[in-house]
Structure formats: structure tokens, C-alpha cells
Amino acid sequence: MNIPLLSIVTFLPAAGALLFIFINRKQENLIRYTALFISIINFILSLFLYFNFNGQTAEPQFVEKARWIGYGIHYHIGIDGISLFLVLLTTFLMPIVILSSWNSVKDKVKEYHIFMLLLGTGIIGVFVSLNLFLFYVFWEAMLIPMYFLIGIWGGKRKIYATLKFVIFTMFGSLLMLVAIFVLYSIFYKTAGTYSLNIFDYYQLVLNPNIQIWLFLAFGLAFAIKVPMFPFHTWLPDAHVEAPTAGSVILAGVLLKMGAYGFLRFALPLFPDAAKKFIPYLAVLSLIGIIYGALMALIQKDMKSLVAYSSVSHMGLIMLAVFALNMESLEGAVYQMLNHGLSTGALFLCVGILYERAHTRLIKDYGGVSRQMPVFAALFLICMLSSVGLPGLNGFVGEILCLFGIFQSSKLLAILGVSTIILAAAYLLWMYQRVMQGPLENKKILNFKDLSLREIGFLVPIVLLMFFMGIFPKPFLRKMDASIEHLLKQVHRAETYVVDKEAYIKPSLKISEIDINQNTKENRTETEDNE
Amino acid sequence: MIDIFWLIPLVPALSTLILAVFGEKLPKKYISFQACGAVFISFLISLYSFLGLLKVSPEEYPIVKNLFTWIHSGNFQANLSFQFDPLTAVMALVVTAVGFLIHVYSIGYMAEDRSYSRFFTLMNLFTFSMLVLVMASNLVLMFVGWEGVGFCSYMLIGFWFEKHSAANAGKKAFIVNRIGDAGFLIGMLFILVYVGSTEFSNINNAVAGGSLSHGLVTLIAILLFVGATGKSAQIPLYVWLPDAMEGPTPVSALIHAATMVTAGVYMVARMNIFYTTSETAGSVVAIIGAVTAVYAGTMALTQNDIKRVLAYSTISQIGYMFIGCGVGAYAAGIFHLYTHAFFKSLLFLAAGSVMHALSGELDMRKMGGLKKYLPYTYPTFLIGAIAIAGVPFLSGFFSKDAILTSAFAQGQYFVWILGILGAVLTAFYMFRLIFLTFHGKERIEPEVKKHIHESPPVMTVPLAVLAFFSVIAGYIGLPVVLGKNVNWFDRFLAPIMHKGHEAHLTIGTEWLLILISVIVALTGIFIAYFFYLKKPSVPHTLVRRFPFLYRLLYNKYYIDEAYDYLFVRPTLKGSEFVYDKFDINIIDGAVNGAASGTGFFGKVLSFLQTGFIKDYALVFLLGAVILLGLLIF
């Protein structure tokens, strides 16, 4: 089989966006159906990635290479057990967000869907890139559609929010770009050849002093994206102003890019520096858990409440990432998927309410359950998933994270457990004020329960929540080998030889010099994997 | 024949699923038939498995059925596996038997409710979760049930969620329980790391083998007990239970009296090796239990709400169960759990029947003389009261006596004295309730009196059955003083309980203790009789004489207010302060400040924008040279 499946999954949304040039902007429903159709097809295709993925090996799979600019800049993509699920999460959420904005987006429908599909390609690209340059291109490119999605279809303060979002992210990524250049030059100096291949870099043994600066540059870019305390203030603004679909993608996948960046780049590339900074980063993560939860407790706006809850949840994920053991990393990746589902779903629920009452303020609601019993039940399940109730997905991730963290630091884990109390407090309190109590706002009397379309996009998420809560095995087994491999990468610190010239192991095999010849071999590799 | 026991929790699970998806469209008759039927089938399987268990030799306990590996990552493994042993058998039988009767009673009680299917869905879900809790063969799966019952409790307390008070009570219950759960979870993490497994058999082996240090055993035992104080409403986390009475009365009977609130006791009994190994932890359990027993008893004295009196009584009685577990008499603790399940659910259901008769009235000041209107409710209520008061020959007497005798035998005299004190209080407040409700002057409001009626048979028959068991349930655990083999219950549970040091009392002492118990119970009843029937002016005189004490008790020692001022408000106010001053002003302020600073520099730098390409080219070249220089050197 010589089908470049991964490239198709990556670029199908963008190709779909191109197709829209031929569609008249007045045929809004045709645009919607086309976008939905493309995203569903893409999800189905990505399922083939899952079923053909070999969980026994840590080698990247579905690898595709092609010469591009030269000087080490090549088209090189592939997935391992970590990125596989982030790609799947993205392709799973795409049709859902398109369905969710069916009625709420009435303005510039064509552009909206073009940006949405481009965003899909951008995000998937970030997760599949194995070439640092390519990664950086996707990382930045994905900002553009997001910028417009918030800036055009957003709320009242959309310009402020979208600028803040972009400037924050750009600030981090520019430092990362500088760091990439430095890595590039170090590699050229030591190996005598150009490469931006991440696997070549893994074999670099860098001077710990240089590592520190590079780690900080990469780390800051990713920490802003997560976002880790104290770089989180762009998040509530961006969420509050973004359209529902934007929030879902933002919370569901974009934030994971930060955590993914740590796992793929910052930690394995600079293990010595990582060791040095992890205690501080872990404390910041813990502060994020508690701080985010306390801030969520007092928010008056449902969206910013969910946004701060993201800060708290991502704090737990990052704490697990920094614990660096098998259980904590599997827990962290699993929890990334959970958070994508539960927080995404919570934003969808807020969106459903917003479409009916055009307010996000908690105090404008009350007693909605009686009018919308089906919605009440689904909203409840999404909330409980976020709270980590056993039987649903959140619990599996949470217990693995906590167990992993506990093995590294008892104190941090014990303090981290406070999340299960605080999460219950802020979410249940919101649910009480919005869904329960007497019905005081007369507007709510006109609320209709969920339409078939709304059930259509919420129910798949809820079913997946149950599935992931009861059968985590199909997910965990596919990531075992990759995470084990990653751990080996990170724990190879202290291998640095004091000889200042020896930046690089003699055994380094340079993979990109004659890329054209390699391509064939890689194709056969891919075949084997399939 | 025993190997079908794992179906016990799955039957209500299936029923829940059907009701959750199709419930709204099904006719009421079918819903109640299916919900009750599912619990009844579970009961039959429990009974069948129990009979099978009797034929299995104790060496083979527990019988484990592993369905599949649930979570597995690195060193972490949790199986979806159930076990069956004497302790599980007792719990499963209590849950399904009492649960079935309460389900049946609910058919009548909830007949008019518009959320009929939601009610039965949640009741079935609760039964399922509770069965998972008591049948899990490892701590992680037990935690699933533990949280599951907490969730059902939340949903059912807030069943009538349009009422602010109900929604509030549900949320409060869940959050307070989660505080306990955090302790439980931390204890579980310690076990996971130091034992490497959460299967109960492995934990028992590890602790018995001495692979955990004594300090660690104490720490874990106390952390797990924190979880128990939340779920079983003990000091300091009991505050949610009185408010939980906002839920429908069958819920109070099933969840907040007979089953869920005793989960903490079950857990301590299940993990008994920790409390036997660490005497410190055992003593903590016993003392918290004893203090709670008296403390909650005093709060029950002045309440006028019939369900709240029963709620405080439940807290107090669970305290007794913990005394039993704390002094190493686990079987006695579980025995009281078992008898209490009958008489306390009876009392709640009978109180529900009173409410039903009085159009929802709960205030005892507006009752009185109901005896003649409620010919079935009254005698059953009375039997429940006699049983809980500890009058000889009824179930409560045997179980409470077993606990107090053990406490005395272990030399825990302080605990024993508190236990005796609690017994006086119990007898007093129960009969205060009986006399105020059913005897004396009628104080019923005329409007209510017009509609007064006895409940339908679907409600009174369960009352009768529970009353029957409240009388006879104790005879499987007679005091040892009557003969060596009369305490069947103790012998049945013995193989899975780890004995501490044995202590024997002389036959004379045992009889003396029994005598004291009897005198104490009768004294309490007599005082109540004297206060509320003979000389109804006495309570008023006392209130006038000791206004401070009365206010203190009436306001439940102001603990709710204290918690509010100490924990809730500071958290909210502090968070708001931090949000305004720190998040918005400092962090975000720094960012926006940086932005405006950039704007300023941008203006300065704009002078450099000459617009001539040669200038730009020059700068570009300069930059390139510097960069290149950096790379080379």
C-alpha cells in the first residue's frame, strides 16, 4: 500500500478549503455540508491510522519524507503513540465543532469554514512534523486562522483578545525560532551537514550550559501555549471572546500543543537542563492547579470559569509530565485527551445555552434543567467527566497522573489531590446556579431542549467519555512503547562528555544527507508497519 | 453454585441503562416493576451466593471473579474484579433486601411525582454503585463505587432541584464528601506505592507480612478513615447529612440511613488489618466514633423536624459502629450496621408515612395524637424506636450491647462511658419523637387534618416487613454470655477479621454490663415520658433556665456557621481578592504594560523607518554580519 495516508489526513482539510473557491458564498448550507463531509471523511481516514498503528514499537510510523528547500529543511512527517492520539483528537473534534456552529455562525459562512478547515490542517501538521522547520511553520501557520476566527466571529472585545492571544504566542515562538537556529548551527558545526530532523537532534549531546538557554527558549514558548501559571492571562480573554467552536478547538487541542512540545522537544532534547528546571516547573504547575481552580470558583462568566478550569487541569497534566515516569506520562497523555473531550464539551454546553439566551453570565440563568432535561443530563455527564468521577474518562487519567506524581514527589501529589475537591466545588456550584434552583428568568421558559443536531454533536463525546472511562486499554497499549522510549531519551542526561568539542556522538548517523535514496527505504518501512 | 455472584451488581446496572435511555417514554407501572424487579433479582442472587458461601471452607475466602483488566500502566494495575466473602455477603444482602423494600415503598411515595423515571433510574444506579463498593476486590474499584454512591446521593438529595435548599444540600454533600475522598485517595496512593497492588488479598498479605512500617500503617489507616468520616458523616465532616434530609424520604432511608452512610464502616472493616496492626489508628476510630455518638445525640435533643432528629440519630448510631471497629470488634460493628439498616430505614419510612398523612408536614410541633389516625404506621414506628433505644429482645439491643461490651473488655472505659451516655440520649430523643408525634395533644393544623389518611399497602407492607426484621434480626448474634456458639454472626465473619489481643470478661461483669445497658435505655425512655407526657411544662422550664445551652444545641453548636466563616468565605473572598489584585492588575497588568511599552518603543523606532530601500539593505546586511559572527565564534 503506497497511499500517503498521513499526508492525506493532514492536508485533506486544507484541500477542502481550497474547494470552497468554487462554491458560491450564497449557498451557505452547501458550504456547511461540504465542510462537515470533509471533516467526517478525515476522521474516518484517521481511524485507519489508529488501526494500522503498531503499538509495539517506538519508531515513528506512517513516515513520509520528501525533499523541500534543502539545507536540512525537508518535508518529514510521521506519528508515534503520543501524536497518534492528538491527531485523532483533532480529527474527532473537527466535525463536532463544524456541526456546533451550524446556526450560530451566520456571517461570512464561507470564510468561517475555510479558516476552520485550514486550522485543522495547521494543528494536525504540528503533531505530525518530524522536521523542526516544518514544525515551526505549522506552529505559526495555525495562528493565522485562529486569529481570524476569534477576530471576526468573536465577542465584544474580540480584537483585544485576539491580539493578546497572537502576541503572547508569537513572543514565545520567536524565542523558540532563535533556539532552533542555534541548534541548527551547532549541528552543522559538529556533524558537518545540515539537518533539522528531530531524530538527529535527539542524538546530539549538548553542553549543559547551552542546554539551559535552549531549554528556556523552547520551554517558554510551550509554557505560554499550555498555558502555565503565570503565563495564563491570555486564555480567559481568548476563550470568552472566541466563538464556541474556537473555544472548543482552543481548549480541546491547541493547549495540548504546549504539553506536546515539552514531550517532543524541550524535555528529550535538553535532558540536563530539564533536570535542573523541573523542580521549578513542577511548582509552577502545582500553583497552576490550585490557582486556576480558585479563580474558576469566583468567575461570573461561564466561559471564563471553564477557561480557568483549563488552567487548573493543564496544571495537573504538566505536573504529571514533569514527574517523568511511565504512569505519569501515560496519565498525562490520557488526561490531555480527556481534557480535550470534557472541556471541549463544556464549552459546547455553554455555547448551547448562549445560543438560547445570548448571555454567558451565570446569574442570568437558573432552573434550566426543567426546560431542558436532555441537555441537563448531557451537561451533567460532561461536568462529571471534568470532575473526574470514576466510570468516566477523567478518573483514569487523573489517577494515573496522581500515582505517577506521587512516585516522584509525595508532597506535590498530596497538594495536587486538592484538585478533586476544588473541581467539584466550582463546577457543581456553576451547575447549581445555571441548571437548578427556581426558574427566575422568564426568557428561560422559551428554551427548547436540544435539537437533533445538538444531540448529534454532544452524544458522540459523551459516549467516548464512557468508553474511555471503562476501556482505557485500547488507548494505553498503543502509547506504551513510545512513552518508554521517550523516558529513555530524557533520562540519558549526564552522558555529556566534558570535552567541549565533542558536541556529538561519533556514532551519529545522519539521515538526511541523501534524502532521495532514503525515501524508498522509508516507504518500505511504512509498508511493514501497515 | 457461587460463581454467579458477580451478576449481583450487573442486574441493577442493566436496569439503570434501560431506564436512563428509555425511561421518559415508559409507563410508570413498567418503570417501577423493572426497578424493583432488578433489585429483587439481585437479592435472590445474593441469597443464592450466600447459601453457596456457607458450603465453602473459610480457607478459600475470598472468592474472586476477575472480569477484565481495567487500567494498566507501568506499575499501576486495577482490575474490574469482584469478590465474595462473609463481609461482602452481609453487605450485599442488606443492600439488596432493604433496598428492595424501599424501592417498593417508593412506588407509593413517589406516585405523584413528575420525575418518576428519573427517581427510579437514580435509585437503581445507587444500588449498582453500592454493590460495586461492597463487592470490589480492590481499592480502586471500591473507590468507583465509593464515588458512585456519592454522586447518586448528590443527585437524589437535590432531586427537587427547583428548591434552593435542596440544590444547595446536594452540592454540600458532594463537596464535603470529596474532602473525605481526598484523604481516601491519598491513602490509596500510599498503598499503591508501598504495597504495589490494591487487591485486598495483597494488601492483607503485605501488612500481615510486616512489609510496611508501623508508622506507615498508622498513616494509611488514618487517611482512609478521613474518607470514612466524610462518607459516614462523622466528626468533623458530618455537616452534610442533616441537610441531606432535603431529599425524598425513601432516599433518606436507603442512602442516608441504611446503606451509603455505613460505607465508611464497611471500609474500615474491610481494611481491618490496618486498624488491628496500628492500635493508635484503632483508638482514633473508636474515640471519633464515641465522641460523635454523644455529640450527634445531643443535637437530636432539640430538633423539631422529624427527619432531622433521625438524621442526627443516624450520625450517632454510625458512631457506635465505629466504636466497634475501633476497639477491634469488627464483627460487632458490622452487626450493628446490619440491625441498624432495618430499624433506621423503618423509622425513616414510617416518618415518610407520617409526612404522607400530613401533606408533607415535618414539624413535630404541629403533630401529636396521631396514634389513632395511623393504625399501621404507629406500631411499626414504635417497634423501630424500641429497637434503636436498646430495649432487650429487639435487634438494636444485641448489637449495641456487643459493641459496648467489647469496648469495656478492651479497657477503653472512656469510650464505654461515652457509649452509655449516648444510649441514654438515644432512648430519650427517640421517645421524645414518639410522644410528640403520636401521643399527647393534637396540634395538627385544621387544613392538614382534613386530608389526614393512612398510607396505602404498598407503603405499609414494607414497614411491616422491616418491623419484623427489626425485632428478630438480632437473634443471629446473641451475647456470648448465653453460650459459646450462640453468636453465629461473629463466627461467620471471624475468618476475615484480624484479631488484636483477646480480652475476656468474667460472666458476672458481662451480665452487669448488660444490666447497665438495660437500665440506661429504660431511664431514657422514662425521662422522655416524664418530660413530654407526664409534665409537658418541664422542657419549657429547662429552656428558660438554660437559654444558652438550649440555643447552642438548637443551632447545632453553630458548626455550619463556623465552617462558613473559617473555610468557605475566606476561600471565596481570598480568591476574589487575588483575582482582582493579582491576576488582573499584576500579571495581566505586566503584560499590558509591556504592550504599551512596546508601543512607545515602536514610535521611537519608527524614526528608523526612512522608507529608503538602501537604508534597510544596510541594516539587513549589518544584522546578517552580526548573526554570522555569532555563529562562527
Among positive and negative, which fits the CA dihedral B30, B32, B35, B40? negative
What is the average pLDDT across B578-594? 77
Find chain B residues with C-beta within 8 A of A326's C-beta: 73-75
The stretch A483-507 carries a mean pLDDT of 62
Q: Which residue of A414, A430, A441, A468 is the best one to mutate when testing the B interface, meaning the one whose CB has the most B CBs within 10 A? A: A414
Mean pLDDT of chain B: 90
Cα–Cα distance for residue pair B308/B303, rounded to 1 Å: 7
Task: Write the burial class of residue B64 (CB in 10 Å: 0-12 exposed, 13-18 middle, 19+ buried).
Answer: middle
Distances (CA, A) of B296 to B177, B308, B328, B521: 18, 11, 23, 17
Answer yes or no: do A418 and B182 touch at CB < 8 A: yes
**How many Å lie between the alpha carbon of B3 and the closest alpha carbon of chain A?**
23
Among candidates B69, B151, B591 on the partner chain, residue whose Cβ is nearest the Cβ of A473: B69
Instruction: Check CB contact under 8 Å for A390 and B147.
Output: yes
In 3-state terms, chain B is what percent helix, strand and coil (to 5)? 80, 5, 20
Kindly determine whether residue A399 and residue B164, on different chains, have CB atoms separated by under 8 Å. Answer: no
Put simply, whether A474 touches B (Cβ < 8 Å) is no
Cis peptide preceding A506, ω within 30 of 0: no
% pLDDT > 70, chain B: 94
Is 80 exceeded by the pLDDT of residue B587? no
Nearest-neighbour CA in chain B from A417: distance (Å) = 6
For the ranges A310-324, A429-443, B587-601, the one whose mean pLDDT is highest? A310-324
**Cell numbers describing residue B282:** 484503632
What's the confidence (pLDDT) of residue A505? 45
- Which of A393, A403, A485 is most worth mutating to test chain B (most B CB atoms within 10 A of its CB)? A403
Q: What is the pLDDT of residue B617?
A: 63
What pLDDT sits at residue B139? 94
Amino acid at B290: A
Say if residue A51's pLDDT is above 50.
yes
In this prediction, residue B132 carries a pLDDT of 96
Task: Evaluate if residue B525 carries a pLDDT over 90.
Answer: yes
Q: Rg of chain B's alpha carbons, rounded to an integer?
A: 29
Residue A521 above 50 pLDDT?
no
Closest CA to B314 of B330, B285, B336: B336
Check residue B103 and give its pLDDT.
96
A262-271, B154-163, B576-585: segment of lowest average pLDDT: B576-585
Closest by Cα among B580, B40, B76 to A400: B76
Residue-wise pLDDT tens digits, A107-124: 888 889 999 999 999 999
* pLDDT value at B229 more than 80: yes
Q: What is the DSSP letter of B70?
A: E
For B133-171, how does the pLDDT look when each residue is reduced to its tens digit (9 = 90+)? 999 999 999 999 999 999 999 999 999 999 999 999 999
CA distance B76 to chain A (A): 7
Facing residue for A421 by CB, picked from B71, B170, B175: B175
Give the cell for residue B539.
422542657
Q: What is the pTM of this model?
A: 0.91
- For chain A, domain boundaries: 295-492
Q: Grid coordinates standing for A506?
A: 561519533
The answer on pLDDT for B628 being more than 70 is: no
DSSP secondary structure, A30-79, as one string? HHHHHHHHHHHHHHHHHHHHHHH--TT--S-EEEEEEEEEETTEEEEEEE
Task: Say if the Cβ atoms of A327 and B571 lie within 8 Å.
Answer: no
Interface test with A, best of B24, B72, B73, B192 (most A CBs within 10 A): B73
Does B162 contact A470 at a Cβ distance shorter than 8 Å? Answer: no
Task: Mention every residue, 6+ apart, whose C-beta is less than 8 A from residue B384.
Answer: B343, B344, B346, B347, B350, B466, B467, B470
Can you tell me the mean pLDDT for A399-407?
95
**Least confidently predicted of A31-45, A449-463, B449-463, B584-598:** B584-598
CA–CA separation, A260 and B172 (whole Å): 37
Give A437's contacts in chain B (Cβ within 8 Å): 161-164, 167
Interior CA angle at B587 toward B585 and B591, to 5°? 100
Q: Which residue of A has its CA nearest to B72?
A: A473
pLDDT for A22 beyond 90:
no
A325 part of contact set with chain B, CB < 8 Å: yes
Per-residue pLDDT at B600 exceeds 80: no
Q: Is residue A131 helix, strand or coil?
A: strand
pLDDT tens across B162-199, in order?
999 999 999 999 999 999 999 999 999 999 999 989 99
**Would you say B201 and A409 are in contact if contact means Cβ atoms under 8 Å apart?**
no
Whether the pLDDT of residue B430 is over 70: the answer is: yes
The ipTM of this complex is 0.90
Contact B167 A432 (CB under 8 A): yes
**pLDDT one-digit tens code per residue, A408-426:** 999 999 999 999 999 999 9
Integer Cα distance of B157 and B167 in angstroms? 8
DSSP character string of B294-354: HHHHHHHTS--BHHHHHHHHHHHHHHHHHHHHHTT-HHHHHHHHHHHHHHHHHHHHHHHHH
Three-state SS at A511: coil
CB atoms within 10 A of CB A485: 17
Q: What is the pLDDT of residues A194-220, one digit of tens each?
A: 888 888 888 888 888 888 999 999 999
Distance CA B579, CA B586 (A): 10
Q: Among A314-318, B60-64, B264-268, where is mean pLDDT lowest? A: B60-64
Q: Could you report the per-residue pLDDT of B357-376, keeping only the tens digit for each?
A: 998 888 998 898 899 899 99
Interface of A with B in 124-183 (CB under 8 A): 164, 167-168
- Exposed, middle or buried: residue B164 (CB in 10 Å: 0-12, 13-18, 19+)? middle
Sign of the four-CA dihedral A92, A377, A383, B140: negative
B178: closest CA of chain A, how far (Å): 5
User: How confident is the model over B387-393, as a mean pLDDT?
Assistant: 92
Among chain B residues, the shortest Cα distance to A231 is held by B587
Of B167, B178, B189, the CB nearest to A424: B178
B78 interaction partners in chain A (CB closer than 8 Å): 399
A406 touches chain B (CB under 8 A): yes
Q: What are the backbone angles phi and psi of residue B63, rounded to the nearest 5°?
A: -85, 120
B212: its cell numbers: 510496611
- Which pLDDT tens digit goes with each residue over A356-389? 999 999 999 998 998 999 999 999 999 999 999 9
With an 8 Å Cβ cutoff, are A428 and B69 in contact? no
Following DSSP, what letter does each residue of B374-409 receive, concatenated? -TTHHHHHHHHHHHHHT-TTSHHHHHHHHHHHHHHH
> Which residues are registered as beta bridge partners of B71?
B78
- List of chain A residues whose C-beta atoms are within 8 Å of the C-beta of residue B171: 428-429, 432
**Which of B279, B303, B280, B283 has its CA nearest to residue B291?**
B283
Question: What is the Cα–Cα distance from A125 to A83, expressed in whole angstroms?
Answer: 10
pLDDT score of A313 more than 50: yes
CB atoms within 10 A of CB A501: 8
